[in-house]
Structure 1
C-alpha cells in the first residue's frame, strides 16, 4: 500500500550485532616419544654393519649385527641382516639357522609379518642355491602365507617351473620313447584308440621332438573325434618336420571332418606345392571342391549347412570380412544392385574375400 502523505516513516532497525567467534582451542602439544637408548644403540651398530656389508667386509658386518641384536633383541631385522651376510658368504647352513631363529623370535614378539616372511624367503633362496628345490618351494609357500609379496611369489613360480623342467628332463629316454611308440602303434592296429593315445603321450614325454608320434597321436584323436586335439598334434608335426607329408594330410583330414573345407583345401594345396604328384593331396583337393560345390548347389541338408556356417563364423578371418563395412555393402550389392556387383567382380581383392566366404559356406553364389 502507498504511504499516506504526511505520515511519518518507520525508523529502520539496526542490524543485530554478530556473536563473537569463540577463541580457538589450542592444540595439545604432542607427547615426546620416548626413545629406547638400547634401540638407538642397536640401530647405530646396524648402520655400521650395513656399511661393512656393502664393502663385502662380511666378518666385520657379522660382528656389528650380532652386537646390535645383543643390545636390542626385540627387532629381528638384525637377525635377517645376519642371515643375508651368511648367504653372501655361501654358508647356507648358518644362513638357514639364523632365518629359523628370526622366525621363532619374530613370532614370540608378534613382529611384522613382512619381517617373518623375509626370513622364510631368504631360507628358501638358500635351499635353491643348493638346488634343493622342493625345500625352497616349501619355504616360499610359508613366506607367502605370512605376507604375499611380488618378489616371493616370483621366486615361488620360478622354482615350480624349475622342478617341472628338471622332472621332465629326468624322464627323457629315447629308447623308452621308441618302446612306447611301438606299443601305441600296436594299440592303434587293435583299434584301441584311447590306449594308443596313452602310449603316444608317454612316448612324447620321453622324446618331445619325434614328429612321427605327433602324427600318430593326431590319427588316434581323429578316430576318437577329438578334432581340436588332433589338429594341434598335426600342426606340431608340421612345425617339427615341414617336409613330412603325413603332417599335412592328418591336418587336412581333421579340417575336412570339421567341415572347414576351405581350410582343408589350403592344407592340401600347401602339400602339393612341395609334392605336386602326391595322390592323397590331389584326391583331398577334389573332395574339398566337391563338398564346397555341394553346399553352393544346395545339396547339403539344412543341418549340415548350419553346422558348416557356424564353424566358419567362429573363424577370425571370416568375422573380419563380415564386419568390414565395405564388404557388407559389397554383399548387399550382389543381392540388390547388379551394376555395382559387376564393378565389384572386377576387383581382385574383393573377389578373393567373396571366394573365401563361398568356400567357407557362409554365402552361396548361384
Structure 2
C-alpha cells in the first residue's frame, strides 16, 4: 500500500530534521555518513526525494522541531490546568439508604438459609455500610460469622450489636454462642444470663445457658481431680523420701548404744548444734556428713563420740 500524503509529509519532515541536525553539528561528523544513508532510505521507503527543496510534500517554512515544541507546550498547559471533577454519585436520602440496607439484609438472610455464609457476610456488610446504627445487621453478621467458624469476629459483632441496643436479647444470645464455641464458658454463662433477664421465656437461650454451666462445672471437676492427683503424687514422694532415711541415710536411732531420738531432742544438743552451724566450716562439714551415710555411721559408732554424747545427756559412759 503506497504511503499517504500525510505520511509522505511526515517522512520528508523527518529527513529535513536529520539533515539540519548534521548541518548544525547536533550529529557528529563521525555519525553523519550513517545518517545520510538513513535519510535516503526513508525517502525511498515513503516515495519522497529528500534532496528536492520545493517538494509538494514539504512543510516549510515550518519544521518538525518547531511543531513538536508547540505540541509539548500545549500538553504542559493541559496537564497543569484544573482537572475535570468526576461526576458525584447522586446522594441518597436517609429513607433510600435504609431501604437499600434492608434489601441487603433480606438477601443476607436468604443466603444464610442456603448456608452460603460467605455471601451472607458480604451482604450484611453492605447493609452495615448503609446503616451502621442497626443492631440487627451486626447481630445477623455475628450469626453468619459463627456459622462460618469465625468466632472471634462473631464476638466483636455481637458486642457491637449490644453496644447499639443493650436491650436486644438476641445480641446476648449471639455473644453467648460465639463465646461457647471459643470454649469461654464462664463468659458465655454471663451473656446468656443477661439475655434471659431481657427475655425470660426464651427456651433456646435457657438450654444454651444450661449447657454452658455444665461445661463450667465439668472444667471445675477436672481441675479438682488434677489438684488431688498432684497432692497424692507429692505425698507419695514425701513418704518415699522419709522411708529412705532422708536421702538414703540408715536408721541411726540406736547406733553406738545411744538413743538418737533423745540426743536430737535434748535442748543442750540443739543449742550446741545451732551455735556450730553458725560457723561456715562446721555447716559445710555437717552437710557433707548428711550426704555421706557411711561417714555418718562411722562417726556414730566411734566410742569417743558415743562417750561424749553420753556425758552430754548425763547418762551412761
TM > 0.5 fold call: no
TM-score under structure 2 normalisation? 0.40
Select the structure of larger CA radius of gyration: 2
